[in-house]
Amino acid sequence: MIPFPREILAVEGARQIADGDVVIVGTGLPLLAATLAQRTHAPGARLVIESGVVFPKVVPTPVSVVDPRLMHGASRHGSLYEALGGMVQRGLVHTGFLGGAQIDRYANINSTRVAGKRLPGSGGANDIASHCRKVVILTDHERRRFPERCDHVTSPGFLDGPGARKAAGLPPLEVKVITDLCVMEAADSALAVTALMPGATLAAVRAETGFAVEAADVLAEVAPPTTDELTLLREVLDPDCVYFPERKSEK
């Protein structure tokens, strides 16, 4: 089975969740990645949904954070206030998944406006970036998404650089950006490439990034999905190609 690039993205996202982690996820690939983790290596992962569902056993895969299928086996059906205020802002959530229109070299995220065009805004993204210990960003790798500086900072990474986050009164943060080309990481520093997706090159990453790309001395290669992972994704979690419409061409 040959995986599509976004399938590798989802699987690598799932690998960021350890068994027992408390994770907040939103609509899209993060929700699919979290569900995949819960069905494979992290059955004890405890999911928090921004809409207020706490610790569900997700069966089958929902299509949004307000899908009733998210409520199966939940410890609580609460509210946005309880998820963000009662869980995230109290430091009870270890990992948060985010996306955005722009991610700059210091892992700041813009989901508010680009070139004067208004975007959906923060939702709970600012809370997650401000209070979680680890943030995982899943995104396509396009030059327009990775500027030197975001047009607007919706959710803080490391602001202007080393020490700026602490000076702003924010707790330490580990960031991992997973794209269809590479994995970039940072902890109070600029993002640096630490691994490449199968078949990708550092030159390709640099061509699609709007800031000078730093890289580890030795770059790992992301392990492709296993046959079992792809079978689970395609036949159980996304049989109708809701998350991966590109697969319809194979049907």
7 part of the active site:
no
Q: For 48, how many CA atoms within 13 A lie in the half-sphere containing its CB?
A: 29
Q: Count the neighbouring beta carbons within 10 Å of the beta carbon of residue 227.
A: 9
Q: Which residue has the tokens 């630490």?
A: 194
For tokens 């027992």, what's the residue?
A: 20
Choice among 12, 50, 208, 229 that is catalytic: 50
| H-run or E-run covering 46 | strand 46-49
DSSP character string of 60-103: S--SSTT-GGGGTT-SEE--HHIIIIIIITTT---EEEE--SEE
The residue type found at 40 is T
| Cis amide leading into 60 (omega within 30) | yes
User: Facing residues of 36 across strands?
Assistant: none
Q: Would you say 123 and 26 are in contact if contact means Cβ atoms under 8 Å apart? A: yes
Tell me the C-alpha distance between 116 and 168, whole Å: 27
Token pair listed for 40: 């494979």
Quick check: helix, strand or coil at residue 53? strand
Q: Which active-site residues does the annotation give?
A: 50
